[in-house]
Structure 1
Amino acid sequence: MPLPSPLRLPDGLPATPVPWVSPALYAVVAIAGGYAGLRGLGETQPLPFIAGLAALVALDWAERRRWPAGTPVAPGLVLLAVRAGLFLIVAGADGSGLSRVLFLLLPFGIYFVLGPVASATAAVLCLGGLVAAFQTAAPGWHERVEAVADVLMFTVGLVLAVAMASVAVEEQRQRSRLEASHARLRVYADQVAELSAAAERGRLARDIHDGLGHHLTAISVLLEKAEAFRERDGNIAVAAIADARHSARLALEEVRASVRTIRIDAEPFHLAAALKELARRSGERPVVVFDGEGDERRFDREALTALYRAAQEGVTNARRHSGASKVEILLRCDDDRAQLTVTDDGRGFADGAEGLGLTGMRERLDLVGGAVVVDTGRGAGTQLTATVPFRALS
């Protein structure tokens, strides 16, 4: 017949008895038995009494040393049987009669090995054994107040032993669950840290592409312009170089701003002013014009920054790829959303030809709950529409 399953905690380990309970009872029994022997109360037999208690202490020590995480079922049952035998020896040698409290350890220990049902059954059997012993030794015991009181106190002790075991097991279960929860939290914290680092890397990559990439494109175009006009019109070449220097300074400022956002809270961001500056410094070709309406102050910085990066990407693509002569930027802030439209009169591009810039733009807008739509076709120009919803502060 297979052995019953041991009582297990949530982490799979067996439940373990409270370590101080049995030594405490051994000490109480030793003191009471020693006092009874010294005062000549009852018929105490010192040698088996002391030897039995010593064997119990040694058995507990050996069990905890051999199975510190909990005793398996088979050896646990064998040890309980050995303890029951030692309890009988100690109780038979104790003249005080107090050694019967040792039998409280049987249902207490069984609870940790086989669970509450087996523990309650053992408690009933222990009580039945005590009643049978009284009935054999003194048939009229139920008529003596002292004997009835002993049985009642033993019954209370059995109830308390089972209850204490139940509380101890539940405490171990809660501790096991708490430790498992802490372990999961540590795993989740590591995952959040990894995701945060990945998100920050993605943000920096988008900032580099949308900000620094925009300015580097402008510098490249301006230097090409200076090279083209160097012989024909020195003033235009000088102006182009000055504009390229200005774009280089702006690029450096953007890099510093990106670094600052990692270390300290970002400064207030004004989208309309930034878009006006973007249009102003974009040069003569393509001509960039800006128009805006509505109150942007209702929208958070992340949403406004996402729209600004969309405008940068639209202007950069128009300058780099479309051959457009004019780009129009329109910003409209309503009660429920802010919408940015960038329209150019260039040659457009075929569906499915989006590059990393538009992909990064979609990711950025998705992070703030927004969306982007690109309407284009070969020879038809391009219109980029980015929208972010209003999000009330919680």
Structure 2
Amino acid sequence: MLLSPLQPTPFRFLLYTEWAMLASCTAMAVFEAWERQSIPVQHLLILALLGLMGLMLPSGSNFMRYVYTAIEISLIFCGTILGYLHILPTLYVIVMIRSCFLFEPPGRWIVAGLSLILFAVHQMQYLSTFLPLILPDVQLQRILMHQIAEFLMFGLVLFLVSQLVNTLLAERQTQQQLLLAHKQLRQYALQVEDLAAVQERNRIAREIHDALGHALTTLNIQLQTVAKLWQRDRDQAQAFLEHAQRLGKLAMQEVRQSVNALRADAQAEPSLEAIAALVEDFRRSTGIETASNIDVKADLSPQIVKTLYRVIQEALTNICKYAQATQVQLQLQATSDVVHLAIADNGQGFDVTADTSGFGLQGIQERVAALDGDFRLETALGCGCRIIVSLPTQVAAQNLSTKVTSD
């Protein structure tokens, strides 16, 4: 209990104000000692203790705060009992100042009321000591009015001091809250920056996976075909080899575009013609029978076209790598309100309950979600696979500035 933590006075100028009041009382005590030819040791000790107690305030349990305040009040009360009735009662203002740092408003007003009552008691004691010395021609009413005025003035000082300290404490608390809010904002800004970097890395990863992965997969199939035909039909193998060479150049081009995306996001946007060329290239390179129906009757934004291109590209890559399909059907229809895309194959399918969180399907879902679209996957073992995508053209156009940044 005695080792209760201490804290310095929050506002140094208030401590200096307390010391100025104590110094004034000390000067008056010295002046009286000069007249009486004696040193008021007890009076000086009381003033010194009050000054030293102002250096540190208890910040631990409420019990220690009550003890601290009681000691202050006792010192002032004892000093007045020793004969300094007209000087020490004003030091209850110091008790009021320090109580504002120790207690909440209810406790502060209790200390203020107690100080006001004790001040009134000391004033009555002063009158009882002073009245027998009053000369007959001195008006008693004037003296009483003077004491009442002092009492009211002391009460007003207590109120003003309380309001002043409360205002200072509220201002300091506001500053601390603003400082904390500033630190939190800086942390949030760093988190947003990190999140933006993660989103950009994911975007580039999708670009590399969708574009380069498709080209390399097709290139691998072409080279395998060349290896099989080289001994039997070199002319046909030469044609596949030339196509593989073109795919190699395409892969290099995709790598350059991905690297450029790290420096500046200024890639050429795919077009509907590029989608048709992608489907035809898939048919020629894999030999899989591919039927496509592209019926677009509305102007599509570049972001929608790019999303459709990447979805089709990833779907065809997955068919080539995993489906073992012999037929693929692609339907792309667009009106002024919505875009429908459906890609189906007659391959081996897969179990939708298995882990399908690979980069391919995840990338498709992220791209579609970025445009407020709908993505559905229909498949089962031995029943092929069907991917259905719907994109609302108007909603997507309104959200380009916020959601398509992840593309």
TM-score tier (shorter):
0.7 to 0.9
Structure 1 residue 119, shift from structure 2 partner: 1.1
Distance 2:8 2:49 in 1: 24
Deviations 1:91-127 (A, max 9, x none): 7899895654421232332343332112111111211
Q: Which amino acid aligns with 2:276?
A: K
Change (3 A) 1:339 1:257: farther
Structure 1 residue 224, shift from structure 2 partner: 1.6
Give the secondary structure class of the aligned counterpart of 1:281. helix
Change (3 A) 1:180 1:239: same
What is aligned with 1:269?
269
Contact 1:48 1:89 in 2 (8 A): no
Structure 1 residue 15, shift from structure 2 partner: 11
What's the Cα RMSD here? Answer: 4.1
Identical-residue share of aligned pairs (%): 25
What is aligned with 2:152?
152
Change (3 A) 1:354 1:49: closer
**Normalised by the size of structure 2, how large is the TM-score?**
0.74
Q: Is residue 2:314 matched to residue 1:313?
A: yes
Match of 1:60 among 54, 58, 64: 54
Q: Which amino acid aligns with 2:219?
A: I
Contact 2:349 2:380 in 1 (8 A): yes
What is aligned with 2:132?
none
Q: 5+ residue gaps in structure 1? A: 1-5, 7-12
The worse-fitting range, judged by mean Cα deviation, of 213-222 and 88-97 is 88-97
Q: Is residue 2:368 matched to residue 1:365?
A: yes
Q: Which amino acid aligns with 1:21?
A: L
Q: Is residue 2:131 matched to residue 1:131?
A: no
Give the secondary structure class of the aligned counterpart of 1:332. strand
Aligned residue pair count: 376
Distance 1:20 1:277 in 2: 81
Give the secondary structure class of the aligned counterpart of 1:339. strand
* 1:258-297 matches, cutoff 5 A: 258-267=258-267, 269-282=269-282, 284=284, 285-286=287-288, 289=292, 291-297=294-300
What is aligned with 1:9?
none
Deviations 1:296-349 (A, max 9, x none): 5446x3x544332210122113323444455454433433333322244x3352
Change (3 A) 1:359 1:148: same
Q: Is residue 2:74 matched to residue 1:85?
A: yes
Deviations 1:12-48 (A, max 9, x none): x999753431321321442475379669999897655
Q: Is residue 2:283 matched to residue 1:254?
A: no
Change (3 A) 1:208 1:42: farther
Distance 2:326 2:29 in 1: 113
Distance 1:171 1:266 in 2: 51
What is aligned with 1:113?
102
| Larger Rg over CA atoms | 2
* 1:186-201 matches, cutoff 5 A: 188=188, 192=192, 195-196=195-196, 198-201=198-201
Q: Which amino acid aligns with 1:279?
A: V
Q: Is residue 2:96 matched to residue 1:104?
A: no
* 1:44-55 matches, cutoff 5 A: 48=42, 50-55=44-49
Deviations 1:112-149 (A, max 9, x none): 33321121111112111112222222265775454333
What is aligned with 1:73?
62
Contact 2:85 2:125 in 1 (8 A): no
The worse-fitting range, judged by mean Cα deviation, of 153-162 and 245-254 is 245-254
Deviations 1:364-390 (A, max 9, x none): 433443232234566765432222333
Contact 2:222 2:243 in 1 (8 A): yes
Distance 1:364 1:141 in 2: 93
Give the secondary structure class of the aligned counterpart of 2:156. helix
Distance 1:215 1:342 in 2: 19
Contact 2:376 2:388 in 1 (8 A): yes
The worse-fitting range, judged by mean Cα deviation, of 168-177 and 364-373 is 168-177
Q: Which amino acid aligns with 2:127?
A: A
What is aligned with 1:23?
16
**Normalised by the size of structure 1, how large is the TM-score?**
0.76
Distance 1:177 1:371 in 2: 44
